[in-house]
Structure 1
Amino acid sequence: MRLSTEQQKSIRDVIRRFFGAQSLVILFGSRVHDLGSGGDIDLYIEPEITDATVVVDAKIDALVELHKVLGEQKIDLVINRKNGFDLPIYTIAKETGVLL
């Protein structure tokens, strides 16, 4: 995984602060692979909060805070509110990702 221990902790802390303490956070995509270089930070989140409006606000606030603690880089948040939709990206993220 191409994130330091400190970066992993920062991500967990930010996501849980904005999406709820019981939120699941998984890193997936190119940053999972140690031998790669570059790439954005792809995060799959199963938030504790479920209200759509609150989730949208949390996403914006979390991205702002993540940019503050990690620096300006591309960060993608894939959020699964478990509202009945089962998108292929959810399966890919959970099967190929690493729990933070």
Structure 2
Amino acid sequence: MMRLTDHQRSVICRAACECFGASSRVRLYGSRTDDRANGGDIDLFIETDIRDTCEIARAEINFHVQLQEAFGKQQIDLLIDYPGRRTHPQIFDVAEHTAIPL
């Protein structure tokens, strides 16, 4: 159902919880949701209860650092949704409707 190992899922979920809070939700979208596809970056949609954009930026940096330490040069793309977000580009709709919870 998705092209991530158990280890990768575990690392992603743990890092999301540590960086974005225990109530954060993380889902996979994009090409990695298709078992028949090859390669591709890891596209993640994270929902957090953090409201402060500076805190969200710090969380995003820390999240990327943790994943790069665990996965090396793997390309990780993030969409982050949070209370009070003013804009939701169309990719948010795609991610919300096609993403698989981790």
User: Is TM-score (shorter-chain normalized) higher than 0.5?
Assistant: yes
Identity of aligned residues (%): 39
Distance 2:67 2:24 in 1: 16
Q: What is the TM-score with the length of structure 1 in the denominator?
A: 0.94
The aligned amino acid for 1:64 is V
Query: Is the Cα–Cα contact under 8 Å of residues 21 and 48 in structure 1 kept in the other structure?
Result: no
Where do 4+ consecutive residues of structure 1 move more than 3 Å?
Answer: none
Matched with 1:51 is: 52
CA RMSD of aligned residues (A): 1.0
Query: Is the Cα–Cα contact under 8 Å of residues 28 and 43 in structure 2 kept in the other structure?
Result: yes
Distance 1:5 1:73 in 2: 16
Distance 1:77 1:55 in 2: 12
Deviations 1:64-99 (A, max 9, x none): 111111221110111111324332111110111100
Matched with 1:61 is: 62
Matched with 1:87 is: 89
The secondary structure found in structure 1 opposite 2:83 is: coil
Query: Is the Cα–Cα contact under 8 Å of residues 24 and 49 in structure 2 kept in the other structure?
Result: yes
Superposition deviation, residue 48 in structure 1: 2.4
Q: How many residues align?
A: 100
Structure 2 residues not aligned, in runs of 5+: none
The secondary structure found in structure 2 opposite 1:27 is: strand
Query: Is the Cα–Cα contact under 8 Å of residues 67 and 73 in structure 1 kept in the other structure?
Result: yes
